[in-house]
Structure 1
Amino acid sequence: MLVGGVEVGTARMTWWDEADGTRLYLLLGSVGAAHQGLGYGRKILAWLEERAREHAAGDGVGTPAFGVNPVSERDVALVRAAGYRVVFTRVRMTVELAEPGDVRLPEGVEVRAASAADHRAVFEANAEVFGGNSLGYVQDSFEEFEQDIADDYPDYRLWTLAWVGDKLAGWVVSGRDDTPWVGVRPAYRRRGLASALLRANHAQLWEHGVRTASLWTLAENPTGSVALYESLGYRIVERQPRYRRRH
């Protein structure tokens, strides 16, 4: 944003379609320190919203959502004044691992060594469990999923997959620095499978030299994921509120 030939701030927009049909426009802007408090933040936000409306209209999107990720108290005040509210909060949780003990799985459940042959099963299970009830969830293509694995989670020794016959019942996919996917299919819940799988995964991480496990989840997750992780010693170390409003 230029005022009198001087750059006072920047603006950027990106967008994606979420699994529940929401077209989310993420509006990103900043104002230089020397120009703060002069109303430029409001002008940048309004300009980004107008660009998002134009883009949505061109794509035939009926009611897009605008998203912002304020960090400072000043930014939070600005977006709240513009009608944005927190719709969900990403939380990062970590736990310091201890030397593992025995892990007992529910009857009929078996953990088997993971391999590339399991990619499709994990992909489909993720889509089934997270696609219908997770705020902000974006359903990647299978090809994108496989690329993520190749880039960040290629060590199958750190994956814990639980099977009932030929059906994937629960899964924990981990890397050395992050656990991106933890899930249990509804038919196998309330049997202690999630806790057992995480303990088994922690044992695998420990065996391969990892001493701190880390993951992200949603504070508002209807499955109660925060309470589950806290019961296993995880603690919240970072919060990222996600603010949105409808066009």
Structure 2
Amino acid sequence: MTVRWTQVTEQDAAAWAGLCARAEEVDKTGENYDAEDLAEELADPLVSLEHGTLAGWDGDVLVAVGVLRNRATANPVNRVYFDGVVDPAYRRQGLGRRLTEWAIETTPAVSRSRFPDAPMELHASVHEHNTVKAGLLTESGFAPQRWFFTMQRPLDGELPEPVWPDGVRVEGFDHARHDLAALRVRNESFADHWGSSPQDEESWRQWYTGTRAFVPELSYVALTGSGDEGDGADGEMVAFLLTQFFEADQVVTGRREAWISTIGTLRAYRRRGLASALIATCLRAAAAQGYDRAALGVDADNPTGALGVYEAAGFTVDRRHVTYVREFPSR
């Protein structure tokens, strides 16, 4: 077998989606993508198609893809993210090792193209049952650093009631009024989260409020004040919740899932029940709009106690994955 290696192009999105679908039939990660999803990923300004992608072809069949993605900011380390997939029919033939070696060799140049003087790390996510990928990363100098859970709950049973503390109210997300304020809350609230770095406006809209998956009708903000005209403008945003819907998941599973992509609360307002109230508001709206279940992701060691908040809202762990990290020596 001779594999031809090229960079990934925007025209390869459909072939990449087909490759991901074939891999998902075996890997059972719960993640599904269509061509439009992957076209968005290839349009990410933090991905260099020329220098940060690799595609393996057997004739006209795409059998392997690797992508390196910079972070928006280095804080102070630039954590480059590596995503790789190999067609199950072509595994154990060295393609995964080729992608991994390429990622290690290419990361310094990719990182320095954006942050010339920043230290760097290479991060890769591995689902708990994928022992082959975990072993390959370990052999290549990676080490497991952090564990994450994907949690879900059905929406056809009893749902929690939102309880709002005095002086705080909820509003539906409005792009014009809330987008930049939510970004500020996100960056402040995630400052003490492992592996997080501040988002800039471009990456925020690329991955959250500007993506085709974003559902503003299931996204909410918590504001101080009553909202009356005599109360002095809109009040301060102190927490928010954003939701996404992935059509590719519904096509495969038959379920309509509300993915709660991000929840953030200003540190001064933590432990007042704001996240719980936002989640309850979202769950009830999602059920009313015909969604079958809700899901979200969480760091198993989240410093805010988020895991307990989600369990109290009826979420249970559905899948687990591990972030593997490879450090690079300073120049």
Please state which band the TM-score falls in when normalised by the shorter chain: 0.7 to 0.9
Runs of 4+ in structure 1 off by over 4 angstroms are 7-11, 29-35, 39-44, 54-59, 99-102
Distance 1:230 1:69 in 2: 23
Give ranges in structure 1 of 5+ residues lacking alignment.
none
Residue among 140, 155, 173 paired with 2:216: 155
Provide, for residues 86-112 of structure 1, a one-character-per-residue CA deviation record: whole Å limited to 9, x for no partner: 222332111112354643311222223
Q: What letter matches 1:12 in structure 2?
A: G
Q: Equivalent residues in 2 for 1:3-152 (5 A)? A: 12-17=66-71, 19=73, 20-27=75-82, 28=84, 30=86, 36=92, 42=97, 45-56=100-111, 60-70=116-126, 72-97=130-155, 98-100=157-159, 102-116=161-175, 117-130=177-190, 132-146=191-205, 148-150=208-210, 151-152=212-213
CA RMSD of aligned residues (A): 3.3
TM-score between the two structures when normalised by the length of structure 1: 0.80
1:233 maps to amino acid: G
| Alignment partners' CA distance in 2, 1:68 and 1:139 | 19
Q: Does 1:224 align with 2:224?
A: no
Identity of aligned residues (%): 22
Change (3 A) 1:202 1:47: closer
**Secondary structure of residue in 2 paired with 1:83:** coil
Unaligned runs of 5+ in 2: 4-56, 226-234, 246-257
Cα gap change, 1:232 to 1:2, in 2 (>3 Å): same
Distance 2:279 2:64 in 1: 43
**Aligned to 1:203, what secondary structure does the other structure show?**
helix
Q: CA deviation at 1:114?
A: 3.5
For this pair of structures, how many residues does the alignment match?
Answer: 242
> How many angstroms does 1:234 deviate by?
0.3
CA distance in 2, matches of 1:42, 1:143: 33
Structure 1 position 79, deviation (Å): 1.8
- Bigger relative contact order, structure 1 or 2, given CA contacts below 8 A and separation 6+? 1
> Which of 236, 239, 248 does residue 170 from structure 1 map onto?
239
**Offset of residue 82 of structure 1:** 3.0
Q: TM-score, normalised by structure 2?
A: 0.62
Tell me, in whole angstroms, the C-alpha distance in 1 between the residues paired with 2:325 and 2:138: 10
Letter in 2 for 1:125: V
